[in-house]
């Protein structure tokens, strides 16, 4: 086997080629080591001066921008940036104020706020497991789709259920659902329920008044919320208090003139009358005959203020203040009173009413049946249309208009209560003779039951029309005096009739409740009463329905020294009776007896146990 030979020095090119390569490599090394940095061809050319100045200017401008931004952030608009920074971690919590209470005249609670739990959630923190959400929906009383729709409204905050009972809140929180929290809110409670619903009204979920006293005295009841500055973490938990807190100011308590016992009994009686007579609705107003204060204002149908599901407009209407009607025969005492006041007649002046009919301008006015000659007192007792018209036609239209205006008809009652209506009283210059005649017995003008009750304070308070008040009067107003036996404040009103005339009318009203009058059923055990019945056809469009009636009774007790004025209205009785003496007078009787006993008024009649098998017959009323 032949042995490979090692190539000669200098590689494949021989010794000469190797020598030349070595010489070139050594020469290059010597040249690089010999070149100086300053003689580099890159640095040999001069840099233009503007380039360096531009660089310096750019650096300087940058510093100026940064300095300006720092001045803007730290000095000029510092409050804005502080607020933005604080908004990332600080929160202002509202400290709710308790809404003021509504009290009756004796300090009993008609409306009050109590703390209750409300449930809310942060949807982005909630468990997305469908089974967990279905369980949450079941606990809240929702369907799963309802819960999903609710939490889809926002990712940061949604209400789940507001103002729930303690048991439901405890059941939901016991499951420890992620993102579900509880807060305390105030909820309104109404102890008297349906009986006082139209007086106190109600609030909405935000605790703002919507009806009744809750609406009328919203500003006083509301109060002022407080505030508290805190730092919260991402889960909404309070970490630290910062700054000063402002304490909430609770709303004022409102003391009403309403007596809750009188209110409850009045509501019961009108409710029973509506049901018994198969009527559409009914109302009762009770006024203090010496101060004008409202002791009761009840309507049926009614509603529960703290449970308004399926609430209808018929239930919501405060009919005593909002519904107007033609007052019918209840206007007759005003005509008789003014005829006596103007000196035209006396209570014993005879009036010829035969043959029970009177024609004016082609229209015939009739009595229920002929009476012949009646005194002025008997005209009121027997409710004669013909006798009343003959008294009225002796007057000028302006006289009647001024009389009706003086007792409050055609004017909105000055009472702190929403919804009170004006009624209708046309200017006297447009009256035709037949219209003047019909207005004397209550057709052609309209008023609310509250207006009618207040108008009768003219007779009860010796000829003065009293101002009305839904609030308890704290002290006697100017011109008031006190009764020595009862300690009852006597309020001065607007003089309409003389005391002598007012007392004469009271005697006529007393006769209405006796044998031969239209309302013996208004009599009350232990107390004398006086008042006037009213029955009228209901107007439908431009004509009157011959099958629909309103029945009412307005009166006072005790008859000769009145302590209260009571007005009762029953709308559309359909059980066979429709006269005010048959339908409304019994309600008046029951309310008067209970109210006077509640007020501690001593009886002015001797109370004797007796069994009455045949009630006194009532005179058929003309209407």
Q: How confident is the model at residue 13 (pLDDT cuts 50, 70, 90)?
A: very low
Q: Using DSSP, how many helices (H) and how many strands (E) does the chain show?
A: 23, 25
pLDDT for the residue numbered 129: 86
The candidate with the shortest Cα–Cα distance to 170, out of 156, 158, 180, 179, is 180
Taking the chain, what is the end-to-end CA distance rounded to the nearest angstrom?
Answer: 158
- Quick one: DSSP state of residue 324? E
Most confident of 208-212, 223-227, 471-475: 208-212
Q: Are 457 and 292 in contact (CB under 8 A)?
A: yes
CB 565 within 8 A of CB 591: no
The DSSP element (H or E) to which 227 belongs, if any, is strand 226-232
**Where on the phi/psi map is residue 437: left (φ > 0), alpha (ψ -120 to 50), or beta?**
alpha
- State the fold for domain 260-303+322-473+496-598: Beta-lactamase (3.40.710)
Taking CA atoms, 43 is separated from 31, 35, 55, 376, in Å, by: 19, 13, 19, 135
Q: Report the distance separating Cα 400 and Cα 347, nearest Å.
A: 19
What are the residues whose beta carbons fall under 8 Å from the beta carbon of 195, sequence distance 6 or more? 260, 263, 264, 267, 268, 298, 302
- Exposed / middle / buried, residue 403 (Cβ in 10 Å: 0-12, 13-18, 19+): buried
pLDDT band at 108; cut points 50, 70, 90: very high
Query: Across all residues in the chain, what is the average pLDDT?
Result: 85
- Judged by average pLDDT, the poorest of 21-25, 187-191, 572-576 is 21-25
* Count of CB atoms situated within 10 Å of the CB of 558: 24
558 preceded by a cis bond (ω within 30 of 0): yes
Which CATH number applies to 93-255?
A: 3.90.1310.10
Each domain of the chain, given as residue ranges in start order, spans 93-255, 260-303+322-473+496-598
The active-site residue out of 113, 118, 283, 329 is: 329
Residue 452 has pLDDT above 60, yes or no: yes
Q: Is 317 left (phi over 0), alpha (psi -120 to 50) or beta?
A: beta
Question: How much is the average pLDDT of 257-278?
Answer: 96
337-357 pLDDT, tens digit per residue, is: 999 999 999 999 999 999 999
Which residue, 361, 387, 391, is CA-closest to 372?
387
- Out of 370-374, 509-513, 535-539, 613-617, pick the least confident: 613-617
Which tokens go with 228? 């508290």
Does 2 qualify as catalytic in the annotation?
A: no
35-39, 177-181, 368-372, 435-439: segment of lowest average pLDDT: 35-39
Can you tell me the distance from the alpha carbon of 193 to that of 190, in angstroms, rounded to the nearest whole number? 6
Distance of alpha carbon 365 from alpha carbon 392, whole angstroms: 13
In percent, the amount of the chain with pLDDT more than 70 equals 84
| 31, pLDDT greater than 60 | no
Compare 189 and 308 and report the one with higher pLDDT.
189
391 phi, psi to nearest 5 deg: -70, -45
Domains 93-255 and 260-303+322-473+496-598 share a fold: no
Displacement of CA 333 from its chain's centroid (Å): 36
256 vs 49, 505, 592, CA distance in Å? 94, 31, 20
Is the distance from CB of 280 to CB of 176 less than 8 angstroms?
Answer: no
- Alpha carbons 334 and 182: distance in angstroms, whole number: 62
């Amino acid at each position: 086997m032949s042995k490979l030979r090692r190539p000669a020095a200098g590689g494949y090119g021989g010794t000469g080629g190797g020598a030349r390569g070595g010489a070139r490599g050594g020469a290059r090394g010597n040249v690089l080591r010999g070149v100086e940095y300053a003689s580099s061809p890159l640095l040999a050319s001069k840099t233009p001066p503007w380039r360096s100045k531009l660089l310096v200017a750019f650096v300087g401008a940058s510093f100026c921008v940064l300095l300006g931004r720092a001045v803007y952030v730290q000095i000029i608009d510092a409050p804005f940036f502080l607020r933005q920074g604080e908004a990332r971690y600080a929160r202002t919590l509202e400290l709710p104020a308790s809404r003021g209470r509504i009290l009756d005249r004796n300090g009993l609670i008609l409306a009050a706020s109590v703390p209750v739990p409300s449930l809310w959630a942060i949807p982005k923190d909630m468990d997305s497991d469908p089974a967990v959400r279905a369980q949450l929906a079941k606990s809240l009383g929702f369907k799963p789709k309802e819960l999903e729709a609710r939490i889809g409204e926002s990712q940061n905050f949604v209400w789940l259920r507001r103002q729930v009972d303690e048991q439901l809140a405890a059941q939901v929180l016991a499951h420890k659902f992620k993102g579900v929290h509880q807060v305390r809110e105030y909820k309104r409670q109404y102890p008297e329920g349906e009986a006082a619903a139209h007086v106190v009204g109600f609030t909405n979920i935000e605790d703002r008044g919507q009806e009744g006293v809750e609406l009328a005295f919203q500003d006083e009841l509301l109060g002022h919320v407080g505030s508290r500055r805190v730092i919260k973490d991402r889960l909404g938990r309070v970490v630290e208090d910062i700054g000063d807190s402002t304490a909430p100011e609770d709303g004022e308590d409102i003391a009403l003139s309403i007596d809750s016992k009188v209110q409850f009994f009045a509501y019961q009686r009108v409710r029973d009358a509506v049901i018994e007579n198969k009527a559409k609705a009914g109302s009762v107003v009770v006024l203090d005959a010496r101060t004008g204060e409202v002791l009761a204002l009840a309507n049926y149908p009614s509603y529960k203020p703290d449970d308004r599901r399926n609430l209808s407009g018929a239930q919501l209407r405060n009919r005593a203040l909002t519904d107007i009607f033609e007052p019918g025969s209840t206007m007759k005492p005003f005509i008789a009173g003014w005829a006596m006041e103007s000196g035209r007649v006396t209570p014993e002046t005879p009036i010829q009413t035969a043959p029970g009919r009177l024609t004016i301008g082609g229209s015939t006015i009739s009595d229920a049946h002929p009476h012949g000659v009646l005194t002025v007192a008997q005209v009121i007792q027997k409710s004669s249309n013909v006798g009343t018209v003959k008294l009225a036609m002796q007057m000028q239209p302006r006289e009647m208009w001024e009389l009706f205006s003086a007792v409050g008809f055609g004017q909105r009652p000055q009472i702190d209560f929403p919804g009170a209506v004006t009624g209708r009283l046309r200017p006297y210059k447009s009256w035709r003779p037949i219209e003047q005649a019909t207005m004397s017995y209550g057709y052609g003008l309209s008023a609310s039951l509250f207006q009618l009750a207040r108008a009768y304070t003219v007779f009860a308070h010796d000829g003065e029309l009293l101002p009305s008040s839904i609030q308890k009067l704290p002290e006697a107003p100017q011109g008031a005096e006190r009764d020595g036996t009862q300690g009852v404040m006597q309020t001065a009103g607007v003089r309409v009739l003389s005391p002598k005339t007012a007392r004469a009318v009271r005697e006529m009203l007393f006769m209405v409740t006796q044998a031969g009058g239209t309302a013996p059923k208004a009599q009350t055990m232990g107390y004398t009463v006086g008042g006037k019945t009213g029955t009228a056809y209901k107007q439908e469009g431009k004509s009157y329905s011959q099958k629909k009636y309103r029945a009412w009774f307005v009166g006072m007790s005790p008859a000769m020294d009145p302590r209260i004025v009571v007005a009762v209205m029953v709308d559309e009785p359909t059980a066979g009776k429709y006269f005010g003496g048959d339908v409304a007078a019994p309600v008046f009787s029951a309310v008067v007896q209970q109210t006077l006993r509640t007020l501690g008024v001593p009886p002015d009649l001797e109370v004797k146990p007796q069994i009455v098998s045949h009630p006194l017959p009532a005179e058929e009323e003309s209407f």
